[in-house]
Amino acid sequence: MAVHEILKMGDPRLLRVAKPVAEFGTPALKALIADMFETMAAANGAGLAAPQIGVDLRLVIFGYSKNPRYPEAPPVPPTVLINPVIEVLDGGRTEGWEGCLSVPGLRGVVERDERIRYTGFDADGHPIDRIADGFHARVVQHECDHLDGILYPMRVTDFTRFGFTSVLFPELDPNSDDD
């Protein structure tokens, strides 16, 4: 296992539309996923997409035990989601602060769908089918955006609510809970 460098905004590899994973259960896929979990943990992230370490595949991971910005949000177990599809459910749109390991030190308010169903596959090709709302739904939408070359600042509409974490949230650990 190895911690990988996380690409930063400006790197063209973050702007690609990633390719579907074609083969499941392979040692190479499992090694990639192990590296992604190690990389996410080292960076204190809530999620990580394969393109963020330069791998052009439709694969994201996420999971967290608690989030200081959403203290009421229930924990989400470590999840591998491959070739994901998101379906929007009734629940409207909701605003929330986001950060990104590829956009270090910054936060911005992004509008997302409050309630979604997401489907896809785990590392062995077993289907995943979950309904999520709130912060869980936000993390999934944020990570899946990475697979289409979209970084959260591209979704910011109000730049009066976009800035440096250390200024906006001086009480937060600067290394905590980037998405």
Among all residues, which ones are annotated catalytic? 143
Site string for Ni ion, 89-108 (x = CB under 5 A): -----------x--------
Q: What are the distances in angstroms from CA 153 to CA 108, 138, 170?
A: 7, 14, 21
> What token pair was written down for 74?
């229930």
Whole-number minimum distance, CB 16 to Ni ion, in Å? Answer: 15
Whole-number minimum distance, CB 40 to Ni ion, in Å? Answer: 11
> What token pair was written down for 32?
């990639």
The residue sitting closest to Ni ion, measured at its beta carbon, is 100
Could you tell me how far CA 133 lies from the centroid of its own chain?
15
> What token pair was written down for 126?
């077993």
Secondary structure (3-state) at 143: helix
Site string for Ni ion, 139-168 (x = CB under 5 A): ------------------------------
Our CB check for Ni ion shows the closer of 6 and 33 to be: 6
**From CA 119, how far away is CA 106, in angstroms rounded?**
30
Rule CB under 5 A: which of 56-75 touch Ni ion? Answer: none
Binding-residue total with Ni ion (CB under 5 A): 1
Secondary structure (3-state) at 39: helix
> What token pair was written down for 171?
């009480």
Whole-number minimum distance, CB 124 to Ni ion, in Å? Answer: 25
Our CB check for Ni ion shows the closer of 18 and 100 to be: 100
Backbone angles phi, psi at 115, to 5 degrees: -140, 125
Is residue 53 close enough to count as binding Ni ion by CB under 5 A? no
Q: Which residues bind Ni ion (CB under 5 A)?
A: 100
